[in-house]
């Protein structure tokens, strides 16, 4: 019997997750069916429950449902609890009895760190700046701080949001929050977690942001470099986009469902060619 998985979103037609997980399944010899489902904006948990009732075993969750998924879980990982959001749902038990449990995790931060390591970025002892204070940033702070950077600054247009976020994670390492106007640098790594790239905008940043041999990472990706990456490259930074993060977070979800590690390199290469 083929086990069923899916990705929930709204909209979801653009999702690359079905092709990614089909490639993982082919690699590992796992018999799964993975589809994309557009859940109603006002009834995510209902959509998940209907999927389970139809034989679903687990799901990925993308915008705008990660906080809704958090509220549908019986058991949360530590990092999901801190993030206040879930992108991976795992069903324990047979899915039909009254005692099954819904486990929730967030694999975004793991995906980011693994992609940075793949690029050869040294995180231990690094000075890191993260731009933005929304859910995308909240989901990656714990894995970043676990790499023991020298410092991590979260900067946001609204300083109070960044300061509150830093306070929530202050027990994990050296982290501060600020407005964009208080960013000085230099930094060894700058991660753009804002949605500004989608609209072709840049946060107001100083030209002195990057140290020599610094890296710039945008969680967004596209066929062409984002405006943030173009700006960073013009100032001497090495640039990386978020396509690898997408593949690596998916690989962690697949491992949680099937207990098998996937080779992400050929999947990433195939996706890159298709952009």
pTM (predicted TM-score):
0.95
**Same domain as 205, residue 140:** yes
Tell me, yes or no, whether 130 and 213 share the same domain: yes
Shared domain for 127 and 188, answered yes or no, is yes
How many angstroms separate the CA atoms of 208 and 212, rounded? Answer: 10
215 and 250 assigned to the same domain: no
pLDDT band at 269 (very low <50, low <70, confident <90, very high): very high
Residues 94 and 160 in one domain: no
Residue with tokens 């640039």: 239
Q: Are residues 56 and 45 in the same domain?
A: yes
The reply to whether 96 sits in an annotated binding site is no
Same domain, residue pair 146 and 232? yes
Q: Among 134, 126, 75, which Cα is nearest to 108's?
A: 134
pLDDT in tens, 249-267: 999 999 999 999 999 999 9
pLDDT tens per residue, range 135-187: 899 999 999 999 999 999 999 999 999 999 999 999 999 999 999 999 998 99
Residues 56 and 121 in one domain: no
- Domain that includes residue 187, residue range: 109-241
Do 89 and 113 lie in one domain? The reply is no
The CATH number of residue 265's host domain is: 3.40.50.10860
Answer for the pair 192, 219: CB distance below 8 angstroms, yes or no.
Answer: yes
Total count of domains within the chain: 2
User: Is residue 192 a known part of a binding site?
Assistant: no
Between CA 78 and CA 55 the distance in angstroms is 27
**Same domain for 92 and 113?**
no
Q: Which residues have a catalytic role annotated?
A: 66
The answer to whether residues 78 and 141 belong to one domain is: no
Instruction: Classify 104 as helix, strand or coil.
Output: strand
Q: Is there a binding annotation on residue 87?
A: yes
Task: Please check whether residues 262 and 143 belong to one and the same domain.
Answer: no
What's the pLDDT at 96?
52
62 is in an annotated binding site: yes
CATH of the domain at 148: 3.40.50.720
């Amino acid at each position: 019997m083929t086990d069923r998985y899916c990705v929930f979103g709204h909209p979801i037609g653009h999702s690359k997750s079905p092709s990614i997980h089909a490639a993982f399944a082919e690699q590992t010899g796992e018999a799964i069916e993975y589809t994309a489902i557009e859940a109603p904006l006002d009834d995510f948990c209902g959509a998940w429950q209907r999927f389970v009732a139809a034989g679903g075993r687990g799901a990925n969750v993308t915008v705008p449902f990660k906080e809704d998924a958090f509220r549908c879980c019986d058991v949360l990982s530590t990092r999901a609890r801190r993030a206040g959001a879930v992108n991976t749902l795992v069903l324990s038990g047979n899915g039909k009895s009254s005692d099954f449990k819904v486990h929730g995790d967030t694999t975004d931060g793991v995906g980011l760190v693994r992609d940075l390591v793949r690029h050869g970025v040294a995180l231990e002892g690094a000075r890191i700046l993260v731009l933005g204070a929304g859910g995308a940033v909240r989901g990656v702070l714990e894995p970043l701080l676990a790499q023991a950077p020298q410092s991590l600054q979260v900067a946001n247009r609204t300083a109070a949001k960044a300061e509150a976020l830093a306070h929530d994670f202050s027990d994990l390492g050296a982290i501060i929050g600020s407005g964009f106007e208080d960013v000085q640098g230099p930094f060894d790594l700058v991660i753009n977690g804002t949605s500004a790239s989608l609209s072709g905008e840049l946060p107001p940043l100083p030209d002195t942001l990057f140290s020599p041999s610094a890296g710039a990472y945008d969680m967004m990706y596209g066929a062409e470099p984002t405006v943030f990456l173009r700006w960073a490259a013009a100032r001497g930074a090495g640039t990386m986009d978020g396509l690898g993060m997408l593949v690596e977070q998916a690989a962690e979800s697949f491992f949680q469902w099937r207990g098998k590690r996937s080779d992400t390199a050929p999947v990433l290469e195939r996706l890159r060619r298709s952009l």
